Chain A
Amino acid sequence: MELLPFASFLNPDKRLFWVYMLSSLFIAGVYLLLYKKEARLNLSKKLWLHKSAQLDYLYFFVNYSLKVAIVLPVLFGAKEVALLTNRALFSFFDYNLITGVNYQLIVLLYTLTLFVVSDFTRYWLHRFLHTVPLLWEFHKVHHSAKVLNPLTFYRVHPVENLLFGLRYSVSIGVVTGVFIYFFGGAISVVEILGASAFVFIFSLFGSNLRHSHIKLVYPKQLEKFFISPRQHQIHHSRSHYNKNYGGYLAIWDSLFGSLCFSKDVGKIHFGLGEEEKRFSSVYQLLITPFINLSRRFV
Chain B
Amino acid sequence: MRVVLVVVFMVQIAFSAEYLVSISKNILIKNARDASVKSEKLVEALSKKDLKASRERFKESIVAWKKVQATYVAGDFDEMMIDIPRLFDIYHHGNEDIHAQLSRIFASDEALEFALFKNSHKSINALEFTLFAKETLTQREFQAAKIMAEAINTYISEIYEFYKANHQTFVGNEPKANSAILNALIDSSYKLKEWRVGDGGGFSKKYRKDADDSRNEYYLSKLSKEAVEAIITAHGQLMFDKEYQNFSTMVIQAGAEQELEIIREALRRSLMLLDLDSESFASNRALYESLERVHYGYYLSLITALQITSKIVDADGD
Hey, which bits of chain A sit against chain B, CB under 8 A? 1, 8, 11, 13-15, 67-68, 72, 75, 77-79, 82-83, 86, 94-95, 97, 99-100, 103, 107, 118, 122, 126, 142, 153-154, 156, 160-161, 164-165, 167-169, 172-173, 176, 180, 183-188, 210, 232, 235, 245, 247
Q: How far is the CA of A184 from the CA of B205 in the complex (A)?
A: 21
B178 at the interface (CB under 8 A from A): yes
Q: How far is the CA of A1 from the CA of B82 in the complex (A)?
A: 41
Given contacts A103-B76, A184-B179, 7 further A-B contacts (CB under 8 A): A72-B312, A77-B308, A83-B303, A165-B313, A165-B316, A185-B178, A187-B306
Cβ-Cβ contact count across A and B, 8 Å cutoff: 118
Given A126-B318, A180-B303, A185-B179, A94–B205 Cβ distance below 8 Å? yes
Please provide the chain B residues from 49 to 103 with a CB less than 8 Å away from any CB of chain A in the complex. Answer: 75-76, 79, 82
**What's the nearest-Cβ distance from chain B to residue A15, in Å?**
7
Q: How far is the CA of A216 from the CA of B179 in the complex (A)?
A: 42
Please provide the chain B residues from 296 to 311 with a CB less than 8 Å away from any CB of chain A in the complex. Answer: 299-300, 302-304, 306, 308-311
Residue from A8, A83, A94, A100 in contact with B300 in the complex, judged by beta carbons closer than 8 Å: A83
Interface contact A176-B303, CB-CB below 8 Å: yes
Interface contact A75-B312, CB-CB below 8 Å: yes
Please provide the chain B residues from 268 to 318 with a CB less than 8 Å away from any CB of chain A in the complex. Answer: 299-300, 302-304, 306, 308-318
B21 at the interface (CB under 8 A from A): no
Chain B residue with minimal CB distance to A95?
Answer: B190
Residue from A1, A107, A167 in contact with B310 in the complex, judged by beta carbons closer than 8 Å: A1
Interface contact B183-A186, CB-CB below 8 Å: yes
Interface contact A185-B182, CB-CB below 8 Å: yes
In the bound complex, residues from chain B placing their C-beta under 8 Å from that of A8 are 314
Hey, which bits of chain B sit against chain A, CB under 8 A? 75-76, 79, 82, 175-176, 178-183, 186-187, 190, 194, 205, 299-300, 302-304, 306, 308-318
Residue from B76, B175, B205, B306 in contact with A176 in the complex, judged by beta carbons closer than 8 Å: B306
Q: How far is the CA of A187 from the CA of B183 in the complex (A)?
A: 10
In the bound complex, residues from chain B placing their C-beta under 8 Å from that of A83 are 299-300, 303
In the bound complex, residues from chain A placing their C-beta under 8 Å from that of B299 are 83, 86, 180
**What's the nearest-Cβ distance from chain A to residue B154, in Å?**
22
Interface contact A173-B308, CB-CB below 8 Å: yes
Given A72-B312, A78-B309, A82-B308, A160–B317 Cβ distance below 8 Å? yes
Chain B residue with minimal CB distance to A14?
Answer: B314
Q: How far is the CA of A150 from the CA of B198 in the complex (A)?
A: 58
Interface contact A72-B313, CB-CB below 8 Å: yes
Chain A residue with minimal CB distance to B175?
Answer: A188
Which residue, of B205, B299, B303, has the highest number of chain A Cβ atoms within 10 A? Answer: B303
Residue from A79, A154, A185 in contact with B186 in the complex, judged by beta carbons closer than 8 Å: A185
In the bound complex, residues from chain A placing their C-beta under 8 Å from that of B306 are 82, 176, 187-188
Interface contact A169-B312, CB-CB below 8 Å: yes
Given A83-B300, A185-B183, A156–B314 Cβ distance below 8 Å? no
In the bound complex, residues from chain B placing their C-beta under 8 Å from that of A161 are 316-317
Interface contact A13-B314, CB-CB below 8 Å: yes
Residue from A1, A103, A167 in contact with B313 in the complex, judged by beta carbons closer than 8 Å: A1
Q: How far is the CA of A172 from the CA of B317 in the complex (A)?
A: 16
Q: How far is the CA of A183 from the CA of B205 in the complex (A)?
A: 22
In the bound complex, residues from chain A placing their C-beta under 8 Å from that of B304 are 79
Given A100-B79, A180-B302, A185–B181 Cβ distance below 8 Å? yes
Chain B residue with minimal CB distance to A171?
Answer: B315
Residue from B180, B300, B314 in contact with A15 in the complex, judged by beta carbons closer than 8 Å: B314
Which residue, of B82, B205, B302, has the highest number of chain A Cβ atoms within 10 A? Answer: B302
Chain A residue with minimal CB distance to B178?
Answer: A185
Given A77-B312, A79-B308, A168-B315, A100–B75 Cβ distance below 8 Å? yes
In the bound complex, residues from chain B placing their C-beta under 8 Å from that of A232 are 318
**What's the nearest-Cβ distance from chain A to residue B260, in Å?**
14
**What's the nearest-Cβ distance from chain B to residue A185, in Å?**
3
Q: How far is the CA of A183 from the CA of B76 in the complex (A)?
A: 12
Top 10 A-B residue pairs of the complex, sorted by shortest distance between their CB atoms: A185-B182, A168-B315, A164-B316, A77-B309, A184-B183, A156-B317, A185-B179, A186-B179, A78-B308, A184-B186
Interface contact A247-B179, CB-CB below 8 Å: no
Given A184-B186, A185-B179, A176–B308 Cβ distance below 8 Å? yes
Given A15-B314, A79-B308, A95–B194 Cβ distance below 8 Å? yes
Q: How far is the CA of A265 from the CA of B225 in the complex (A)?
A: 75
Chain A residue with minimal CB distance to B182?
Answer: A185
In the bound complex, residues from chain B placing their C-beta under 8 Å from that of A75 are 312
Q: List 17 A-B contacts (CB under 8 A).
A: A8-B314, A13-B310, A77-B312, A97-B186, A97-B187, A99-B183, A100-B82, A103-B76, A156-B316, A161-B316, A165-B316, A172-B308, A185-B178, A185-B181, A185-B182, A185-B302, A245-B318
